[in-house]
């Protein structure tokens, strides 16, 4: 099955700086890579996703890049703000629409004032 590795487990950045979280996956058949943000005590929410036929996707301060050859994808957050503090999970889905997502172990992003 799929295996997703996520790094770092904790990331502390100064407010206004950029943050980068990296994930690798093992199954070359994986074709969908979402990123979820989970604030303390709340459910995970999708913030951005990318499909295997796209190399990069951007949504305001958030961008995701995908390198299918190397089997890794990254989340980039620019101009970080206090409300970006949360746990971020990457995930990968292989196979058809019924397969569950395989998640990374999460990154706790801390924005220092």
Partner 1 sequence: DVKVTQSSRYLVKRTGEKVFLECVQDMDHENMFWYRQDPGLGLRLIYFSYDVKMKEKGDIPEGYSVSREKKERFSLILESASTNQTSMYLCASSLWVSGDTEAFFGQGTRLTVV
Residues that bind partner 1 (CB under 8 A): 1, 6, 9, 31-32, 34, 42-46, 49, 51, 89, 91, 93-106
Shortest distance, position 112 Cβ to partner 1, whole Å: 22
Comparing CA positions, the residue from 19, 1, 2 lying closest to residue 92 is 2
Minimum CB distance to partner 1 smaller for 38 or for 78: 38
Shortest distance, position 97 Cβ to partner 1, whole Å: 4
Size (the chain), residues: 113
Minimum CB distance to partner 1 smaller for 14 or for 45: 45
Shortest distance, position 58 Cβ to partner 1, whole Å: 18
* Secondary structure letter of residue 93 according to DSSP: B
Shortest distance, position 81 Cβ to partner 1, whole Å: 23
Report residue 8: phi and psi, to 5°: -85, 175
> What is the distance between the alpha carbons of residues 45 and 10, in angstroms, rounded to a whole number?
19
Minimum CB distance to partner 1 smaller for 72 or for 78: 72
CB 95 within 8 Å of CB 65:
no
Count of Cβ atoms closer than 10 Å to residue 92 Cβ: 26
């Amino acid at each position: 099955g799929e295996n997703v590795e996520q790094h770092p487990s904790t990331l502390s950045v100064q407010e206004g700086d950029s943050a980068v979280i990296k994930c690798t996956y093992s199954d070359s058949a994986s074709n969908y890579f979402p990123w979820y943000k989970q604030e303390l005590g709340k459910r995970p929410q999708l913030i951005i996703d990318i499909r295997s036929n796209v190399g990069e996707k951007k949504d305001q301060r958030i961008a995701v890049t995908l390198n299918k050859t190397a089997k890794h994808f990254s989340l980039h957050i620019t101009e970080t703000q206090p409300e970006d503090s949360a746990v971020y999970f990457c995930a990968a889905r292989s196979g058809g629409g019924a397969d569950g997502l395989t998640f990374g172990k999460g990154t706790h992003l801390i924005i220092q004032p």
